[in-house]
Structure 1
Amino acid sequence: MLKKIYKIIIIPYSLFLLYLMFLGMGRFQYDDNLITVEPVFSTIKFIQGAMSWKDIVVIVIGNIVMFIPFGFLGWIFPELRKLKTLIFTFVSAIVIVEALQYFTRMGIFEVDDIILNTFGVYLGWRFCRFIEKRFSYLVL
């Protein structure tokens, strides 16, 4: 049952995420192409300079949580049940999305986004394995 629901929801969810990454949340086209390649330190600087906890949760935690559903892609594509294949495929895809943000100037190519998004996929993959073991009768 869960697999059927997931198959119905993941495409609209993916489109919604792409909307957020390019047009949502007050996005605008930058004058220049921007890139941040300073892993982890740029997120730490962001947290230190954040105006509120809400900003931190929305940006940092959101970059993790919003990508958890992609850890379940093995339910649709069996080859993505293997963590190594899932991570390689996801990182390839998210680098393309980040590059599109850079080239369209509708966002910033950020290495930290790639790291946080990938961590979300990993958590999703772990959660998926947990659900399959504990609640196998719901997964079908």
Structure 2
Amino acid sequence: MSNNASEDFKRFFRIISFILFIIYLMFLINVLFLDEKYGRVTGVKGYNLEFFKTIKNYIKYSGTNTIMRNIFGNIVAFMPFGFFIPVLLRKTRHLIIMILLSGLMSLLVEVLQYHFAVGSFDVDDIILNTVGGFLGYLIYKICYYIYYGFKYLHIQK
């Protein structure tokens, strides 16, 4: 691939990534703040500040569907964040920065949910969302190394 074609592909990929990121944010806002079919309690300001309390309660007292929806749902919800942010913002392409950004974004979501009484503030959600951001970042890194590793091998042939 020529240098111009490579730059064109990168530009195209970033544009598509930006569009997908905006769609993801709109979906996330809908799920976290607007759509009541996700079992959200509205009008009540609850909170949990004890680490792993909610997670333990889900595992101990809930069925598989509740565990999947709440624990894995919180993780999966932030995986696109961990993938798209380093694609769109070069300065965020470091593990520690992405973990911090994922945690801060999750903290913002939890504070807003508490403030607007659409869900509760739960420290366990912050942990799970941050894990999701981390996993999304790992997927980004794997894709990055596959692309650039393949590109490097292609040049060598």
User: Which residue identity lines up with residue 29 of structure 2 in the other structure?
Assistant: L
* Map of 1:19 onto structure 2: 30
User: Which 5+ residue runs of structure 1 have no aligned equivalent?
Assistant: none
User: Which 5+ residue runs of structure 2 have no aligned equivalent?
Assistant: 1-8, 152-157
TM-score by length of 2: 0.78
Distance 1:82 1:3 in 2: 18
* Map of 1:57 onto structure 2: 68
* Map of 2:94 onto structure 1: 82
Distance 1:105 1:99 in 2: 10
* Map of 1:128 onto structure 2: 140
Distance 1:22 1:42 in 2: 20
Distance 2:142 2:126 in 1: 24
Of residues 39, 42, 67 in structure 2, which corresponds to 1:29? Answer: 42
Distance 1:132 1:74 in 2: 10
Q: Verify the 8 A CA contact 2:113 2:120 in the aligned structure 1.
A: yes
**Runs (4+) of structure 1 moved beyond 4 Å?**
none
* Map of 1:67 onto structure 2: 78
**Alignment of 1:9 onto 2:20:** yes
Q: Between Structure 1 and Structure 2, how many residues are aligned?
A: 136
Structure 1 residue 28 displacement after superposition: 4.2
**Alignment of 1:110 onto 2:134:** no
* Map of 2:5 onto structure 1: none
Secondary structure in structure 1 of the residue aligned to 2:40: coil
Q: Flag the structure with more relative contact order, 1 or 2, with Cα contacts below 8 A and sequence separation at least 6.
A: 1
Structure 1 residue 26 displacement after superposition: 4.2
Q: CA RMSD in A?
A: 1.9
